[in-house]
Every structure is written in C-alpha cells, then in structure tokens.
Amino acid sequence: MTLYKTISLTAFLICLIILTYHFIRLIRLGSPKDYSSKRGNLKSAISYSLTGAMNPLKKESAYLHFPTYTAGLLYHSGTFICFALFFLFLFNIGFANSIQWILIFVLIASGLSGLGIFIKRITVKKLRHLSNPDDYISNLLVTGFQIFTLVMLVKETFSPYYFIFVSLLFLYLPLGKLKHSIYFFAARYHLGFFYGWRGIWPLKSHGQIK
C-alpha cells in the first residue's frame, strides 16, 4: 500500500471512530420515555418515516423545490458511489469498462448537482443568510470528492492527489454538518417515533371528508 493510501486509510479510520462515538452516544441516550398512552404503531411509523414520508409528493421541501430536490438526490447518490469507489481504488479492485462509463456519467451529473447547490447557496439571498463557513466548506469538499473520483476513473496517475484530498474530507467530516450522515437517520427515527406514538404516521389520509 502506498503512503498516500495509508494516509487516507488512517483518515478514514479516524473518521469512523469519531462517527462511531456519535452513534454509540445516541444509542446510549436512547429513545424518549413517553408516559402518555400510545395510540399508534411505532414500528410502522418509523418505517414510514424512512420510506413513505420521504416521498417527494408528501413533502413541500421536495415538491415545491423539485430541481433542488432532484439535484440533492443526485448529489447524495454520487457521494455514496464515491465512497464505494474509494475502497475499490484503495484495494486495487477493478471493474468492467462499461461500468466505468456509467460511473463517469453519473458522477458528472452528481458533481454538477453539487456545484449547482453550491452556486445556489452563494447566489440566493435567503440561503446566504442561513449559511456559515462550514456549509460552503462541506459542499466544496464533497463536490471535490466527486470531481477527484471522476478524474481517478480516467487517469490513474492522479492517485496521490485523490488520496490526499479524500484524507482531508475524512478528517473534516465529523467536525461539521457532514456528520448529518449519522444524525439524519436518527432524526427520521425520532420523527417516526413522535408521530407514530400519537397515531399520526403512517398517514392514512391528509384529512379529506369521506
């Protein structure tokens, strides 16, 4: 394993340890104790929270902002692919040429989406007002991750730069908002728990007279 790969693997392990600490803390703190009489089904509500409630037709944040929502989906999909590719690159695992071209196409789309979200954050007054340096850095790191991965797919000699960049990403990830990679799932769990306890989710109707 090259020095660059060793550095990136170390950075990944540091990131993993810190995220595991966050995860264990959440597990140890546990679910809220609710003394009220439960009306609904928690299991189906939590499952709904992670599935049906995420349906873009059910959320204004999706259907009123469809281009941003689509860009967000692509961006996150690209990020997951990049993480998978990181391990393939790290352990020199190859794949078919046809898959490579599909990945290139997907990463161009996801990288452009990330860039689009970044530009939106800079240019839209309302978003600028909400943003702090971490918001910009996080976006740049993740978008950069996708671009570096893309370059790696076509040019193997780019490897040292790629692994150094990925190391930076892994070291930064637990410090700022990127740790929503852990907290997102916990948030969906808690929301499902809350609405499920009261029998609101899974939503059977939006309230239309029958």
Residues that bind other proteins (CB under 8 A): 22, 25-27, 29-37, 39-40, 49, 53, 59-62, 64-65, 68-69, 72, 124-127, 129-135, 137, 175-177, 179-180, 183-184, 186-191, 194, 198-200, 203-210
Rank residues 111 and 174 by Cβ distance to other proteins and give the closer one: 174
In the complex, minimum distance from the CB of residue 118 to other proteins, in angstroms, rounded to a whole number:
13
In the complex, minimum distance from the CB of residue 19 to other proteins, in angstroms, rounded to a whole number:
12
Tokens of 102: 């599909």
Rank residues 97 and 210 by Cβ distance to other proteins and give the closer one: 210
Give the whole-angstrom CA distance, residue 60 versus residue 140. Answer: 27
Q: In the structure, how many helices (H) and strands (E) does the chain have?
A: 9, 0
Where does residue 143 rank: exposed (0-12), middle (13-18), buried (19+ CB within 10 A)? buried
In the complex, minimum distance from the CB of residue 23 to other proteins, in angstroms, rounded to a whole number:
10
Rank residues 92 and 129 by Cβ distance to other proteins and give the closer one: 129
Residue-by-residue DSSP string for 78-140: HHHHHHHHHHHHHTT----HHHHHHHHHHHHHHHHHHHHHHHHHHH-HHHHHH--HHHHHHHH
In the complex, minimum distance from the CB of residue 130 to other proteins, in angstroms, rounded to a whole number:
5
Rank residues 40 and 116 by Cβ distance to other proteins and give the closer one: 40
Tokens of 77: 């999909």
